[in-house]
Amino acid sequence: PQAALLTLTDDALSLVLRYLSVPELGRVACVCKRMRSVSLRKELWAAEAAAVRRDGEEPTRPEREQAILGYVT
């Protein structure tokens, strides 16, 4: 079952990950390089942009990484 998730395309996987919270995305990012890459996709962070950046702009990849990894300790 877990390996089946990795057979999805990145776009399909991204659709699944949209249902996760930021802490959950942080845990997913620790699974493997591909999951980290997909968990940092811009479209997953549209709702979080205001929380990550005060100016309302879309967060940059380093900002998304910092936000995710902050939950993984």
pTM exceeding the 0.85 threshold for the entire prediction? no
- Judge contact between 14 and 41, C-beta under 8 A: yes
Token couple for 42? 């811009």
pLDDT at 57: 66
Query: Average of pLDDT values for 44-68?
Result: 67
**What is d(CA 70, CA 16) in angstroms, rounded to the nearest whole number?**
22
pLDDT of residue 73: 47
pLDDT of 53 above 60: no
In the chain, the DSSP E strands lie at none
